[in-house]
Amino acid sequence: MNNSWNKRCCALLLLFCSTHPAMCQNDFPSDGKATPATVNLYRNLKKLLTAGIMIGHQDDMAYGVNWKYEKGRSDVKDVTGDFPAVFGWELGHIELDSKVNLDSVPFDKMLEFIKEGYEMGAVITVSWHLNNPLTGKSAWEPAAGTVASVLPGGEKNNLYKNWLDKVAGFLNSLKGKKGEFIPVIFRPFHELNGSWFWWGKNHCTPDQLKQLYRFTVDYLRNEKNIHHLLFAYNTDRFATKEEYLERYPGDEYVDVMGFDIYQRNEGNKKFIDELDKTLTTLESIADAKKKIPALTEFGYGTVPDSSWWTKTLWQGLRNHKISYALAWRNAGKEAGGEMEFYMPYKGHLSENDFKSFYRLKKTLFGNDIKGKHIYKPTGL
């Protein structure tokens, strides 16, 4: 290049950077138009990787074992005196215009809880167990052709767009005190390498899932003009890098890379080994792509082991630099009489061990991240 070309390029670059300052810094979310708070969150989440692992909980402020909607209450807080650092919420049934989600959480209450979490300086993540658009049945009832039916040209594409309009309506109502949008880590189509949901592995090709993911992100960004989201790509347990990336929609669509893992019948040692190994693979994939690794869901149903937190979970997590680990919901007694919870409550047999887990330097809860100002440019 000759000198005058150099000068012209430089001038253009300067002009571009003066109108798009955030984009000229190195680390930017996948959405080139992400709001300032979203960019700050993205960068601060990366910085926080060296500080420790934020511990999160689904539906934490809404209910716990034996209680519902008691202001300021949380099972995590009952046990530790502190809130989680990450709050997970669920949009399933918003697509039906329902006032409550599939777990009976009213959307108007959820909105207030999200605002509260944001004001505390915590991270907000949202999942969506949306119904099967082809059959009208639940997310867990796959039917051949569902994914194809919602893609452009498919018979349910208009219906799916209508559902996304409702998601967009909710996301657009998430505003902080100054009217700014509250950044959210949105993780659609989670556990996509399993086959229990209609978007799962046996019910569509890798290319169809990629198209579905991209369509969803593009629609929210470009048609609904939503720019306060970080997107999480989220499998279940996986064995290899190839398996993890088989359905990956592309770097322009993803900010957080995670997987879900639940301990079931395997012993502690097997669970620790698998968690440890899978996190190592995840970290190397996320590192190569400059994305944020996270344990997007975890749990050991009813935690039937009094030292599970420090002797099992922490043993699997301790050598890793991941952003957060989100425990699933403390539903309490289900309609059928069985108990569902993944965090201890006051009086639970793992309560004391959870306090020790809380005190570990590298587990981060509400008070640990409050002062980090993760939505500010000068955060941390």
What φ, ψ does residue 262 adopt, rounded to 5°? -125, 135
Least distance to ligand BMA, CB of residue 334, Å: 7
With CB under 6 A as the rule, give the number of residues binding ligand BMA.
9
Look up tokens 């049934």; give the residue: 93
Q: Closest separation between CB of residue 191 and ligand BMA, Å?
A: 10
Q: Is the Cβ of residue 44 or residue 234 nearer to ligand BMA in the bound state?
A: 234
Alpha carbon distance 266, 332 (integer Å): 23
Q: Please indicate whether residue 252 is annotated as part of the active site.
A: no
We find the least distance from the C-beta atom of residue 359 to ligand BMA, in angstroms, to be: 28
- Residue 247 is a binding residue for ligand BMA (CB under 6 A): no
Other CB atoms within a 10 A radius of the CB of residue 178 amount to 6
Using the minimum distance from each CB to ligand BMA, give the nearer residue, 191 or 368. 191
Q: Closest separation between CB of residue 152 and ligand BMA, Å?
A: 28
Q: Which two tokens stand for residue 274?
A: 């698998």
How far apart are alpha carbons 113 and 209 in whole angstroms?
32
- Report angle CA 366, 369, 372 to the nearest 5 degrees: 150
What is the footprint of ligand BMA within residues 160-179 (CB under 6 A)? none
- Concerning whether 191 is annotated as a catalytic residue, the answer is yes
Binders of ligand BMA in range 112-171 (CB under 6 A): 129
Residue 62's H or E segment, with its range, is none
Closest distance to ligand BMA from the beta carbon of 48 (Å): 26
- Catalytic option among 297, 338, 340, 351: 297
Residue 35 and residue 181 in contact, taking contact as beta carbons nearer than 8 Å: yes
Site string for ligand BMA, 60-99 (x = CB under 6 A): ------------------------------x-x-------
Q: Which is nearer to ligand BMA, 103 or 141 (CB)?
A: 103
Q: Which stretch binds ligand BMA (CB under 6 A): 39-47, 49-57, 323-331, 368-376?
A: 323-331
Active-site residue, selected from the candidate residues 112, 141, 191, 246: 191
Cβ-based nearer residue to ligand BMA, 328 or 354? 328
User: By C-beta, is 22 or 139 nearer to ligand BMA?
Assistant: 139
Amino acid in position 367: N
- The tokens describing 46, both together, are 């990366």
Q: Are 70 and 77 in contact (CB under 8 A)?
A: no
Which CB sits closer to ligand BMA, 58 or 363?
58
Helices (H) and strands (E) in the chain, counts: 13, 13
Listed in sequence order, the DSSP H helices in the chain are 3-19, 36-48, 75-80, 107-119, 146-150, 157-172, 206-218, 241-245, 268-289, 308, 314-317, 351-359, 366-370
Residue 333: CB minimum distance to ligand BMA, A: 12
State the nearest-atom distance from the C-beta of 275 to ligand BMA, in Å.
Answer: 18
Among 51, 82, 103, 141, binds ligand BMA (CB under 6 A): 103
Residue type, 110: M
At 218, list the tokens. 């593009």
Binding window for ligand BMA (CB under 6 A); candidates: 161-169, 183-191, 324-332, 344-352:
324-332
Tokens read off for 144: 């051949």
Three-state secondary structure along 240-296?
CHHHHHCCCCCHHHCCEEEEEEEECCCCHHHHHHHHHHHHHHHHHHHHHHCCEEEEE
* Binding flag, residue 331, ligand BMA (CB under 6 A): yes
Q: Applying CB under 6 A, does 329 fall inside the site for ligand BMA?
A: yes
Where on the chain is the footprint of ligand BMA (CB under 6 A)?
90, 92, 102-103, 129, 328-329, 331, 340
Q: Looking at the annotation, which residues are catalytic?
A: 191, 297
